[in-house]
Amino acid sequence: MSMRFSGKVVVVTGAGAGIGRATAMAFAAEGLKVVVADLDVSGGEGTVELIRAAGGTSVFVPCNVTLEAQVRQLMAQTISTYGRLDYAFNNAGIEIEHGRLADGTQDEFDAIMGVNVKGVWLCMKYQLPLLLAQGGGAIVNTASVAGLGAAPKMSIYSASKHAVIGLTKSAAIEYAKKGIRVNAVCPAVIDTDMFRRAYEADPKKAEYAAAIHPVGRIGKVEEVASAVLYLCSDDAAFTTGHALAVDGGALAI
């Protein structure tokens, strides 16, 4: 265990599976106290069990990030449980869209924007005052390579991730002189439940997903977790307002 996060507290949303779970576990392995937040109670409690089984400290708080009262309660419970907040990884997100723009529905738009954009905005809205009171800290938001370019047949999702990057950059500038850094990670295709739903039913799509990355494979959740920990650490003390692609070279083509 390193000492770079000794005594610190982090909130991770969407921590019941995938990138969120891997990152919560990585934070715990570094000695942080981890507040696991997710709409999926079983998944969130499962993450806490894994952290505790490995000797870490964690608590689960159920949270729908689209509901202001629940986000407010998440932050209040973080303070009441651990007395402070140092870092946040706003990772909760959805993708439910696989068609051309004109075929999308208003329900899809509202759902995607609600979780991916409003959820990140609400979390930062209630995290930033706590970090200010603490004297500084760091926030990392989950965007996507789809937020750095186009995503055919996922236009609403792409727009939501562009918005996350906009929120990230704007907050970074607003709080740059207050000791708070705000960055985003932009994963390409990562081996998660979301990936499996989208691709594994069609082996050809899975093969294509691997081929779009020059490294010849899709990413691992642990690789995104490492990027998040870096952005939170003092190693990234001069990095803010940055959208870090974790993409196996996909954007370099």
Q: What is the pLDDT of residue 200?
A: 66
pTM metric for this prediction = 0.96
Told to judge if 157 belongs to the known catalytic residues of this protein, a careful annotator would answer yes
Q: What is the pLDDT of residue 80?
A: 98
Is residue 1 very low, low, confident or very high in pLDDT (cuts 50, 70, 90)?
very low
Is residue 98 very low, low, confident or very high in pLDDT (cuts 50, 70, 90)?
confident
Q: Which two tokens stand for residue 7?
A: 């005594």
pLDDT at 35 over 90: yes
Catalytic residue among 82, 87, 126, 157: 157
CA–CA gap between residue 250 and residue 164 (Å, rounded): 20
Q: What is the pLDDT of residue 56?
A: 97
Is residue 3 very low, low, confident or very high in pLDDT (cuts 50, 70, 90)?
low
- The beta strand positions in 162-203, using DSSP E, are 180-187
Provide mean pLDDT across the span 197-213: 77
Percent of the chain at pLDDT exceeding 90: 87
Q: What is the pLDDT of residue 152?
A: 92
Percent of the chain at pLDDT exceeding 70: 97
CA–CA gap between residue 238 and residue 241 (Å, rounded): 10
- Average pLDDT value for the chain: 95
Q: What is the pLDDT of residue 194?
A: 73
pLDDT at 176 over 70: yes
pLDDT at 201 over 80: no
Q: Which of 19-23, 139-143, 151-155, 240-244 has the lowest mean pLDDT?
A: 151-155
Provide mean pLDDT across the span 18-29: 98
Matching residue, tokens 């969407």? 14
> 179 near 136, Cβ under 8 Å?
yes
Domains and CATH numbers, the chain: 9-190+221-239 (3.40.50.720)
Judged by DSSP in three states, 111 sits in: helix
